[in-house]
Amino acid sequence: MAPRPEFAMKHFLGIEELTIEEINHLLSRACAFKQNKCFPNLSTHTLGTLFYENSTRTRISFELAAKKSSMDVVHLNVSTSSVEKGESIEDTIKTLAAMGIDSFVIRHAQNGLPRLLATRLSDCAHLINAGDGTHSHPTQAMLDLMTIFEKKPNLPALKVAILGDILHSRVANSLIHLFSKVGISDLRLIAPPLWQPQSPLVGWVTSSIKEGLQGVDVIICLRVQKERLQDHEFLNTARYHEQFALTEKTLNFAQQDAIILHPGPINRGVEIDSEIADHPQSCILEQVKNGVFMRMAVLDYLFS
């Protein structure tokens, strides 16, 4: 097991503040939880899940991770809560913390909100970022790294492609930070010009799927995030599929044993064909499975 870093963190907000020791520790703990089925005992703690945007994977896997670690879990149904009467998220957290909830998983459309809340509510509770706008989704990036590491452990040697709507993807943003920290330097960012990132920390940008996927070991396919597109950013779905979808034909540009990831939810026939989503080299459901163990490792790290 990687040694536990000396200083534990109060919040889990973004990949940027993780050290390589912390990344290795979380990977090691998550893999150990998965293999040994021996989970931490965090029974003195309570987790509140605050999802101001929809979620299936992230919310349920945090809930499972916490329950398997003997925590109480409380879910705030935003649409039937006092949020609808105008209560701010800050007041909601203070209110729930007063009841004894000492950690919150937060998903919100506003970029940077979890970090802002952490500066205002630092003494109140542990805050975990479960996705803020187009900015950051650190636990998704960590579980993606775990999935890659299990299949192809020599991370710095890998050729990795991120394909799709990169500009609006908080997952891509967190992955780019994470790949730079673990030494993955051959990173290809494949997107139509409208959805390309500006000056990425690592990797090179292309609008040619053939060029970008050439010889890669790992392909991370992204959903077209219609809910985040401005009017001028919409592309014709059929044309997008023709030029940028992961299909049996485009998969051939990659290494024969390339693995396929997608953070989900997937839109079959848009960014990925069914044959590829269900392909023997697809790790999409393994990512979902790993999400429980990586989130357990994050909770364990914050509390232990």
Q: Are 159 and 217 in contact (CB under 8 A)?
A: yes
Binding ligand CP (rule: CB under 6 A), the pick from 24, 28, 55, 267 is 55
Q: Spell 116-126 as b/e; 16+ CB within 10 A means b.
A: ebbeebeebbb
Residue 212 touches ligand CP, criterion: CB under 6 A: no
Shortest separation between residue 140's beta carbon and ligand CP, angstroms: 5
Residue 183 touches ligand CP, criterion: CB under 6 A: no
- Return all residues near 74 (Cβ < 8 A) that are at least 6 apart: 46, 47, 48, 49, 96, 101
Shortest separation between residue 106's beta carbon and ligand CP, angstroms: 13
Could you write out the DSSP letters of every residue in 74-106? EEE-GGGSGGGGT--HHHHHHHHHHTT--EEEE
Catalytic site includes residue 45: no
Q: Which is nearer to ligand CP, 182 or 288 (CB)?
A: 288
| Candidate ranges 54-62, 75-83, 111-119, 295-303; the one touching ligand CP (CB under 6 A) | 54-62
Binding ligand CP (rule: CB under 6 A), the pick from 263, 282, 298, 303 is 263
Q: Which is nearer to ligand CP, 133 or 263 (CB)?
A: 263
Shortest separation between residue 263's beta carbon and ligand CP, angstroms: 4
Is 44 exposed, middle or buried (CB count within 10 Å of its CB: 0-12, 13-18, 19+)? exposed
Q: Which is nearer to ligand CP, 174 or 253 (CB)?
A: 174
Catalytic residue among 11, 25, 45, 107: 107
Rounded CA-CA distance 181/159 in Å is 15
**Interface map 131-150 toward ligand CP (x if CB under 6 A):** x--------x----------
Rounded CA-CA distance 282/261 in Å is 6
Catalytic site includes residue 139: no
Catalytic site includes residue 44: no
Residue 196 touches ligand CP, criterion: CB under 6 A: no
Q: Are 7 and 34 in contact (CB under 8 A)?
A: no
Shortest separation between residue 264's beta carbon and ligand CP, angstroms: 5
Q: Where are the alpha helices (DSSP H) in 155-236?
A: 170-182, 209-213
Catalytic site includes residue 228: no
Catalytic site includes residue 57: yes
- Return all residues near 147 (Cβ < 8 A) that are at least 6 apart: 259, 261, 283, 286, 287, 290
Active site residues: 57-58, 85, 107, 137
The footprint of ligand CP (CB under 6 A) covers 55-58, 131, 140, 263-265
